[in-house]
């Protein structure tokens, strides 16, 4: 039964109805109000769906759960205003009203889940099973105890969850995807088009005169947002980097020598051998073959041929000892001289004879060559051990409100001072700001922080930390025209070229629609005609961008059109449209049917729930809701 529940939870309703019980139970969330929620205590009712109440405790619990999920996602605490901006209370109430509506409907329909089904579902839940896959009562009761629940509470809520899912499954069972819909999807996905087209480059626009002052002012006012300076922030960054802490010169020669001797085999390349192998049914047959080889009566290859071993199976390859899977084979092969044949070896896959045809000796780098590498490894290992100690000391100093600059000076740690940086890592001039450690993590943190805020240090990929303080915030603002005059002029020129190309392309497409030959039209405009076939939706092809292809599929066969393609513009005429025949029941049709059945079921279920809520009636006590979530909104 719970397997069915897990399957059902893949769509959004399943996730809703399972949220309350398993988020609280399996995660072991000990949020205030949990016990009262399951007791159904007589606290203030926040909402009512039909005759089903939604208590303040359930709202409070669900709200805190959702708030914690968002805080974990953003990795910081959220203020009440931020929570309201995210719409957390609306999401919670929608979830609880949906559950209450389903509970009301199951009662109206007289649906009931028998004890045997609930017990079977609990026993089938893997979270309550031991390593052997059997239900473990001790584990079950321990989990309930951690969540502050008892067995009757859990069983009651579990029964309600199963009933909700059974109702949802009944509503969406055996939904048929109309053939007309499947055929429409087939036509959309498989249609291919052919077209003739010509490309208008900026040179077609001709000479563009310099803009007048009025032109510049008009373009600037109409596109002022494109010349807006983004918000920038100044910040101080204290960097604790294990690699910078590492001091290779402090590692003694004795330590280097000791580590070199202990790991000498890793400094170089191991010996490799080219090995041949013949498999025999027993040791006697292998020994007989070995004697024939030793006496010179037969070669190793001749014995292999007699045994039916071809060339690709004869040679194992040129391998190191560690690369040989069978330990017995490895020991025997690496105990032979070059050209030697082994005695019968009892391997994992039978008795074998081995023949070593070549040996590549191993090499070991001298200490002088690997000494810098060893020093670096030892120094970095020591530095990583110091990181946590330094982190704790810096945190103590931060707690006493000591500035990052002073901490950096006292502990000889690098301090990165950033005069101004925007959210994309650029300064006011648009240049990339260097020296910001791990900007993908650090920049978002800087733009979430406030001046004087208590910021948690960021953990770096190298195992270090970055402490940061925002020292100044310059809000986003419009740049004056004089400051961006060159950019405005360039923008005006680009817009003027685009307008001229659009006017020209409209005129050319109009001539094509009147029946003129595309070759003649192109020649009169000094353009070349190109042709292409097998054009698929949403896929660029040759000189046609996805924007052009989208417009091309929106144009009837035999008609012309145009669309921008970067700095160019394309004028086209659709010459053909083809598609394979639609075959009901084909593999592709079944795939479409399966995909759309899920979407159709979600739509039907959503409409059903909305109708249930409408018929049952939903009322919400706004004052009780504000008290439940802890504030006004």
What's the total number of domains in the chain?
5
Do 236 and 222 have their domain in common? no
Do 352 and 452 have their domain in common? no
Do 146 and 64 have their domain in common? yes
Q: What is the pLDDT of residues 595-630, one digit of tens each?
A: 888 888 888 888 888 888 888 888 888 888 888 887
**Mean pLDDT, rounded, for 480-491:** 93
Widest CA span in the chain: 105
Instruction: Say if 89 falls within a structural domain.
Output: yes
Q: What is the pLDDT of residues 325-369, one digit of tens each?
A: 788 999 999 999 999 999 999 987 788 999 999 999 888 888 877
Do 387 and 326 have their domain in common? no
CA Rg value for the chain: 37
Q: How far apart are CA 466 and CA 457, in angstroms?
A: 5
The pLDDT-based confidence of 148 (bands split at 50, 70, 90) is: low
**Mean pLDDT, rounded, for 267-279:** 88
Q: Tell me, rounded to whole angstroms, the distance of Cα 66 from its chain centroid.
A: 21
Determine the pLDDT at residue 594.
Answer: 85
Q: Which two three-digit tokens encode residue 30?
A: 């000990």
Last residue of a domain, one of 475, 499, 530: 475
- Residue 539 phi/psi, 5-degree rounding, is -130, 120
Determine the pLDDT at residue 117.
Answer: 85
Q: Which two three-digit tokens encode residue 460?
A: 């770096």
Instruction: Say if 35 falls within a structural domain.
Output: no
Do 471 and 504 have their domain in common? no
Do 390 and 300 have their domain in common? no
Instruction: Say if 257 falls within a structural domain.
Output: no
Do 66 and 92 have their domain in common? yes
Q: What is the CATH number of the domain that holds 334?
A: 3.10.50.40
Checking if the pLDDT of 294 tops 80, the result is yes
pTM of the model: 0.51
Instruction: Say if 74 falls within a structural domain.
Output: yes
Check if the beta carbon of residue 444 is closer than 8 Å to that of residue 75: no
Instruction: Say if 441 falls within a structural domain.
Output: yes
Do 453 and 522 have their domain in common? no
DSSP states of 343-380 = PPEEETTEEEEEEEEEEE--EE--HHHHHHHHHHHHHH
Determine the pLDDT at residue 631.
Answer: 55
Do 349 and 395 have their domain in common? no
Most confident segment among 19-23, 75-79, 590-594: 590-594
The closest of 359, 330, 355, 331 to 341, measured between CA atoms, is: 355
Do 511 and 447 have their domain in common? no
Q: Domain range spanning residue 162?
A: 45-174+610-629
**Mean pLDDT, rounded, for 35-46:** 48
Do 12 and 114 have their domain in common? no
Q: What is the CATH number of the domain that holds 104?
A: 1.10.4030.10
Q: How far apart are CA 1 and CA 124, in angstroms?
A: 7
The closest of 285, 302, 280 to 293, measured between CA atoms, is: 302
Instruction: Say if 40 falls within a structural domain.
Output: no
The pLDDT-based confidence of 149 (bands split at 50, 70, 90) is: low
Determine the pLDDT at residue 532.
Answer: 95
Do 487 and 430 have their domain in common? no
Instruction: Say if 313 falls within a structural domain.
Output: yes
């Amino acid at each position: 039964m719970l397997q069915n529940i897990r399957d059902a939870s893949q769509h959004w309703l399943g996730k809703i109805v399972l949220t309350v019980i398993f988020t609280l139970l399996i995660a072991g969330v000990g949020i205030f109000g949990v016990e009262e929620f399951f007791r159904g205590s007589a606290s203030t009712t926040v909402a009512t769906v039909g005759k089903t109440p939604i208590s303040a405790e359930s709202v409070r619990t669900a709200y805190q759960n959702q708030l914690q999920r968002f805080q974990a996602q953003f990795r910081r605490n959220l203020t009440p205003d931020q929570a309201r901006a995210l719409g957390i209370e609306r999401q919670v109430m929608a979830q609880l009203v949906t559950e209450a509506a389903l509970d009301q409907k199951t009662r109206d329909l007289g649906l009931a889940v028998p004890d045997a089904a609930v017990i079977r579902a609990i026993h089938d839940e893997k979270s309550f099973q031991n390593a052997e896959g059997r239900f473990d009562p001790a584990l079950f009761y321990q989990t309930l105890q951690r969540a502050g629940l008892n067995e009757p509470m859990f069983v009651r809520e579990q029964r309600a969850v199963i009933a909700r899912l059974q109702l949802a499954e009944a509503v969406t069972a055996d939904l048929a995807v109309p053939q007309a819909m499947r055929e429409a999807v087939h036509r959309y996905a498989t249609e291919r088009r052919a077209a003739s087209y010509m490309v208008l480059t900026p040179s077609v626009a001709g000479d563009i005169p310099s803009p007048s002052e009025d032109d510049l002012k008009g373009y600037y006012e109409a596109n002022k947002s494109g010349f807006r300076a983004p918000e920038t922030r100044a910040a101080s960054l204290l960097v604790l980097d294990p690699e910078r802490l590492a001091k290779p010169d402090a590692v003694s020669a004795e330590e280097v020598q000791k580590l070199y001797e202990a790991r000498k085999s890793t400094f170089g390349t191991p010996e490799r051998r080219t090995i041949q192998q013949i498999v025999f049914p027993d040791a006697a047959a292998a020994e007989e073959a070995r004697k024939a080889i030793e006496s010179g009566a037969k070669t190793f290859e001749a014995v292999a041929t007699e045994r039916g071993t071809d060339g690709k199976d004869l040679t194992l390859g040129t391998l190191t000892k560690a690369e040989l899977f069978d330990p017995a084979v490895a020991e025997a092969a690496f105990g032979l001289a070059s050209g030697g044949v082994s005695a019968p070896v009892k391997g994992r896959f039978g008795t074998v004879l081995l023949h070593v045809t070549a040996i590549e000796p191993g090499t070991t780098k001298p200490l002088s060559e690997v000494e810098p590498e060893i020093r670096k490894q030892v120094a970095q290992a020591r530095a990583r051990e110091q990181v946590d100690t330094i982190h704790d000391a810096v945190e103590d100093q931060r707690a006493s409100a000591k500035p990052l600059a002073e901490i950096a000076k006292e502990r000889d740690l690098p301090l990165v001072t950033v005069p101004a940086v925007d959210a994309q890592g650029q300064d006011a001039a648009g240049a990339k700001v260097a020296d910001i450690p791990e900007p993908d993590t650090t920049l978002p943190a800087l733009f979430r922080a406030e001046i004087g805020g208590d910021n948690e240090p960021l953990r770096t990929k190298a195992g270090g930390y970055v402490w940061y303080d925002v020292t100044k915030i310059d809000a986003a603002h419009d740049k004056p025209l004089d400051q961006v005059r060159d950019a405005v002029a360039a923008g005006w020129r680009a817009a003027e070229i685009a307008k001229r190309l659009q006017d020209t392309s409209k005129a050319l497409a109009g001539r094509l629609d009147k029946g003129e030959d595309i070759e003649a039209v192109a020649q009169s405009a000094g353009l070349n005609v190109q042709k292409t076939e097998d054009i698929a939706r949403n896929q660029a092809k040759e000189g046609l961008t996805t924007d052009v292809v989208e417009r091309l599929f929106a144009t009837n066969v035999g008609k012309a059109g145009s669309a921008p393609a970067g700095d160019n513009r394309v004028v086209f005429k659709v010459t053909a449209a083809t598609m394979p025949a639609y075959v009901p029941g084909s593999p592709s049709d079944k795939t479409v049917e399966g995909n759309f059945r899920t979407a159709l079921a979600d739509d039907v279920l959503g409409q059903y729930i909305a109708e249930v809520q409408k018929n049952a009636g939903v009322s919400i006590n706004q004052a009780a809701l504000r008290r439940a979530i802890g504030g006004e909104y």
